[in-house]
Amino acid sequence: MLDLINIFRCQKLVQGPVCQLIRYFHKEPIPVAWKKPRIGWTKLNYDGSCKNLSGKASIGGVVRNHNAEFLLGYAESIGQANSTIAELTALRRGLELVLENGWHDIWLEGDAKTLVEIIVKRRKVRCMEVQRHISHINSILPEFNNCFVSHIYREGNRAADKFAQMGHHLDHPRIWRHDPPDELLAQLLDDAQGKIVLRRKG
Protein backbone atom coordinates (compact mmCIF):
# COMPACT_ATOMS: atom_id res chain seq x y z
CA MET A 1 0.00 0.00 0.00
CA LEU A 2 2.91 2.31 0.80
CA ASP A 3 4.37 1.71 -2.66
CA LEU A 4 1.09 2.72 -4.32
CA ILE A 5 0.97 5.95 -2.33
CA ASN A 6 4.54 6.77 -3.29
CA ILE A 7 3.78 6.12 -6.97
CA PHE A 8 0.75 8.42 -6.79
CA ARG A 9 2.88 11.16 -5.22
CA CYS A 10 5.47 10.78 -7.95
CA GLN A 11 2.80 11.11 -10.63
CA LYS A 12 1.54 14.32 -9.06
CA LEU A 13 5.04 15.75 -8.95
CA VAL A 14 5.64 14.91 -12.61
CA GLN A 15 2.26 16.21 -13.77
CA GLY A 16 2.66 19.57 -12.05
CA PRO A 17 5.65 20.92 -14.04
CA VAL A 18 4.28 19.47 -17.31
CA CYS A 19 1.01 21.39 -16.92
CA GLN A 20 2.92 24.57 -16.18
CA LEU A 21 5.06 24.05 -19.26
CA ILE A 22 1.95 23.65 -21.44
CA ARG A 23 0.42 26.84 -20.09
CA TYR A 24 3.66 28.72 -20.72
CA PHE A 25 3.89 27.35 -24.25
CA HIS A 26 0.46 28.78 -25.10
CA LYS A 27 1.57 32.19 -23.86
CA GLU A 28 4.59 32.42 -26.15
CA PRO A 29 4.81 35.97 -27.60
CA ILE A 30 3.78 36.36 -31.23
CA PRO A 31 6.21 38.18 -33.56
CA VAL A 32 4.39 40.95 -35.46
CA ALA A 33 5.77 43.08 -38.29
CA TRP A 34 4.31 45.39 -40.90
CA LYS A 35 4.77 44.01 -44.42
CA LYS A 36 5.21 45.89 -47.70
CA PRO A 37 2.68 45.40 -50.50
CA ARG A 38 3.77 43.83 -53.78
CA ILE A 39 5.20 45.94 -56.59
CA GLY A 40 2.58 48.23 -58.14
CA TRP A 41 0.27 47.98 -55.13
CA THR A 42 -0.46 50.49 -52.37
CA LYS A 43 -1.27 49.56 -48.80
CA LEU A 44 -3.75 51.34 -46.56
CA ASN A 45 -3.50 50.82 -42.82
CA TYR A 46 -6.38 52.39 -40.92
CA ASP A 47 -7.49 52.71 -37.32
CA GLY A 48 -10.14 54.27 -35.14
CA SER A 49 -9.75 55.61 -31.60
CA CYS A 50 -12.42 56.13 -28.97
CA LYS A 51 -11.97 57.77 -25.57
CA ASN A 52 -13.74 55.73 -22.91
CA LEU A 53 -14.67 58.61 -20.62
CA SER A 54 -15.79 61.22 -23.15
CA GLY A 55 -16.95 58.90 -25.92
CA LYS A 56 -15.22 61.13 -28.45
CA ALA A 57 -13.72 59.32 -31.41
CA SER A 58 -11.15 59.99 -34.08
CA ILE A 59 -9.81 58.23 -37.14
CA GLY A 60 -6.53 57.93 -38.96
CA GLY A 61 -4.70 56.02 -41.63
CA VAL A 62 -1.58 55.83 -43.75
CA VAL A 63 -0.95 54.79 -47.37
CA ARG A 64 2.43 53.43 -48.48
CA ASN A 65 3.83 51.87 -51.65
CA HIS A 66 5.83 48.68 -52.29
CA ASN A 67 9.00 50.40 -51.09
CA ALA A 68 7.26 51.38 -47.84
CA GLU A 69 7.44 55.00 -48.96
CA PHE A 70 4.89 57.34 -47.40
CA LEU A 71 2.26 58.47 -49.88
CA LEU A 72 -0.51 59.84 -47.74
CA GLY A 73 -1.74 60.09 -44.18
CA TYR A 74 -4.98 61.37 -42.70
CA ALA A 75 -6.48 62.14 -39.31
CA GLU A 76 -9.80 63.53 -38.17
CA SER A 77 -11.97 63.95 -35.10
CA ILE A 78 -15.45 62.51 -35.71
CA GLY A 79 -17.23 63.48 -32.50
CA GLN A 80 -19.25 61.00 -30.44
CA ALA A 81 -18.92 57.43 -31.73
CA ASN A 82 -18.09 53.96 -30.50
CA SER A 83 -14.99 52.02 -31.53
CA THR A 84 -16.82 50.05 -34.24
CA ILE A 85 -18.07 53.18 -35.99
CA ALA A 86 -14.62 54.76 -35.63
CA GLU A 87 -12.92 51.77 -37.30
CA LEU A 88 -15.41 51.71 -40.16
CA THR A 89 -15.20 55.47 -40.66
CA ALA A 90 -11.40 55.25 -40.77
CA LEU A 91 -11.57 52.58 -43.46
CA ARG A 92 -14.24 54.40 -45.42
CA ARG A 93 -12.30 57.67 -45.42
CA GLY A 94 -9.11 55.87 -46.40
CA LEU A 95 -10.83 54.16 -49.32
CA GLU A 96 -12.18 57.48 -50.56
CA LEU A 97 -8.70 59.03 -50.48
CA VAL A 98 -7.11 56.03 -52.19
CA LEU A 99 -9.71 56.19 -54.96
CA GLU A 100 -9.27 59.96 -55.37
CA ASN A 101 -5.54 59.46 -55.90
CA GLY A 102 -5.99 56.83 -58.58
CA TRP A 103 -4.49 53.86 -56.76
CA HIS A 104 -6.37 50.82 -58.04
CA ASP A 105 -4.47 47.84 -56.62
CA ILE A 106 -4.92 48.17 -52.90
CA TRP A 107 -4.15 46.17 -49.76
CA LEU A 108 -6.36 47.14 -46.80
CA GLU A 109 -5.21 46.27 -43.30
CA GLY A 110 -6.74 46.94 -39.89
CA ASP A 111 -6.49 45.56 -36.37
CA ALA A 112 -10.24 45.00 -35.71
CA LYS A 113 -10.45 41.34 -36.68
CA THR A 114 -14.24 40.97 -36.45
CA LEU A 115 -14.83 43.94 -38.77
CA VAL A 116 -12.28 42.63 -41.27
CA GLU A 117 -14.14 39.31 -41.34
CA ILE A 118 -17.52 41.06 -41.78
CA ILE A 119 -16.21 42.99 -44.79
CA VAL A 120 -14.40 40.05 -46.38
CA LYS A 121 -17.37 37.68 -45.94
CA ARG A 122 -19.95 40.40 -46.66
CA ARG A 123 -21.92 39.60 -43.53
CA LYS A 124 -25.00 41.53 -42.48
CA VAL A 125 -25.15 43.13 -39.04
CA ARG A 126 -28.16 44.17 -36.98
CA CYS A 127 -27.06 47.71 -36.15
CA MET A 128 -28.37 49.96 -38.90
CA GLU A 129 -25.63 52.57 -38.52
CA VAL A 130 -22.90 49.94 -38.74
CA GLN A 131 -24.59 48.31 -41.72
CA ARG A 132 -24.81 51.69 -43.46
CA HIS A 133 -21.05 52.15 -43.17
CA ILE A 134 -20.39 48.60 -44.33
CA SER A 135 -22.71 49.02 -47.32
CA HIS A 136 -20.89 52.21 -48.31
CA ILE A 137 -17.54 50.44 -48.03
CA ASN A 138 -18.84 47.54 -50.13
CA SER A 139 -20.02 50.02 -52.77
CA ILE A 140 -16.49 51.48 -53.06
CA LEU A 141 -14.53 48.21 -53.24
CA PRO A 142 -15.65 47.27 -56.81
CA GLU A 143 -14.01 50.50 -58.03
CA PHE A 144 -10.58 48.92 -57.54
CA ASN A 145 -8.87 46.58 -59.98
CA ASN A 146 -7.59 44.41 -57.15
CA CYS A 147 -8.31 44.60 -53.44
CA PHE A 148 -6.89 42.49 -50.63
CA VAL A 149 -8.15 42.81 -47.04
CA SER A 150 -6.30 41.48 -44.01
CA HIS A 151 -6.13 41.68 -40.24
CA ILE A 152 -2.99 42.62 -38.34
CA TYR A 153 -2.41 42.79 -34.61
CA ARG A 154 -2.28 46.33 -33.21
CA GLU A 155 1.49 46.01 -32.75
CA GLY A 156 1.82 46.03 -36.54
CA ASN A 157 -0.68 48.85 -37.02
CA ARG A 158 1.03 51.47 -34.88
CA ALA A 159 1.48 54.06 -37.64
CA ALA A 160 -2.27 54.15 -38.33
CA ASP A 161 -2.96 54.20 -34.61
CA LYS A 162 -0.66 57.22 -34.24
CA PHE A 163 -2.60 59.12 -36.92
CA ALA A 164 -5.87 58.20 -35.18
CA GLN A 165 -4.53 59.48 -31.86
CA MET A 166 -3.50 62.74 -33.54
CA GLY A 167 -7.06 63.11 -34.79
CA HIS A 168 -8.29 63.74 -31.25
CA HIS A 169 -6.40 67.04 -31.22
CA LEU A 170 -7.56 68.36 -34.59
CA ASP A 171 -10.33 70.88 -35.15
CA HIS A 172 -10.53 70.04 -38.86
CA PRO A 173 -9.76 66.96 -40.98
CA ARG A 174 -6.14 66.90 -42.10
CA ILE A 175 -4.30 65.13 -44.91
CA TRP A 176 -0.53 64.78 -45.25
CA ARG A 177 0.85 64.10 -48.73
CA HIS A 178 4.38 62.81 -49.44
CA ASP A 179 5.84 64.26 -46.21
CA PRO A 180 4.65 62.61 -42.98
CA PRO A 181 4.46 64.47 -39.67
CA ASP A 182 7.64 64.34 -37.60
CA GLU A 183 5.90 62.24 -34.94
CA LEU A 184 5.57 59.39 -37.44
CA LEU A 185 9.12 59.30 -38.84
CA ALA A 186 10.54 56.76 -36.39
CA GLN A 187 7.52 54.46 -36.68
CA LEU A 188 7.51 54.56 -40.47
CA LEU A 189 11.21 53.73 -40.51
CA ASP A 190 10.66 50.77 -38.18
CA ASP A 191 7.91 49.47 -40.48
CA ALA A 192 10.01 49.95 -43.60
CA GLN A 193 12.83 47.95 -42.02
CA GLY A 194 10.44 45.17 -41.02
CA LYS A 195 11.05 45.63 -37.30
CA ILE A 196 9.45 42.83 -35.30
CA VAL A 197 7.39 43.66 -32.21
CA LEU A 198 6.50 40.84 -29.82
CA ARG A 199 2.84 40.62 -28.93
CA ARG A 200 2.42 39.37 -25.40
CA LYS A 201 -0.61 37.16 -24.88
CA GLY A 202 -2.44 37.74 -21.61
- Do residue 16 and residue 79 come from a single domain? no
Report the alpha-carbon distance of residue 2 to residue 74 in Å, rounded. Answer: 74
- Do residue 10 and residue 77 come from a single domain? no
- Do residue 131 and residue 53 come from a single domain? yes
> DSSP letters of 185-201?
HHHHHHHHTT--EEEPP
Query: Which domain range does residue 9 map to?
Result: 2-31
Closest CA to 71 of 176, 192, 183: 176
Report the alpha-carbon distance of residue 64 to residue 44 in Å, rounded. Answer: 7
What pLDDT does 12 receive?
40
- Do residue 17 and residue 107 come from a single domain? no
CA 36 vs CA 69, 107, 147, 185, 187: distances in Å:
9, 10, 15, 17, 14
CATH number (domain holding residue 193): 3.30.420.10
What pLDDT does 121 receive?
85
CA geometry: angle 41, 97, 32, nearest 5 deg: 50
Q: DSSP 3-state assignment of 62?
A: strand
- Do residue 59 and residue 140 come from a single domain? yes
Number of domains in the chain: 2
- Do residue 77 and residue 131 come from a single domain? yes
What pLDDT does 28 receive?
85
- Do residue 65 and residue 165 come from a single domain? yes
- Do residue 94 and residue 155 come from a single domain? yes
- Do residue 22 and residue 70 come from a single domain? no
Report the alpha-carbon distance of residue 72 to residue 137 in Å, rounded. Answer: 19
Which residue positions in the chain have pLDDT lower than 50? 1-25
What pLDDT does 38 receive?
96
- Do residue 43 and residue 101 come from a single domain? yes
98, 63 contact by CB (below 8 A): yes
- Do residue 141 and residue 120 come from a single domain? yes
What pLDDT does 176 receive?
98
Report the alpha-carbon distance of residue 57 to residue 80 in Å, rounded. Answer: 6
- Do residue 131 and residue 184 come from a single domain? yes
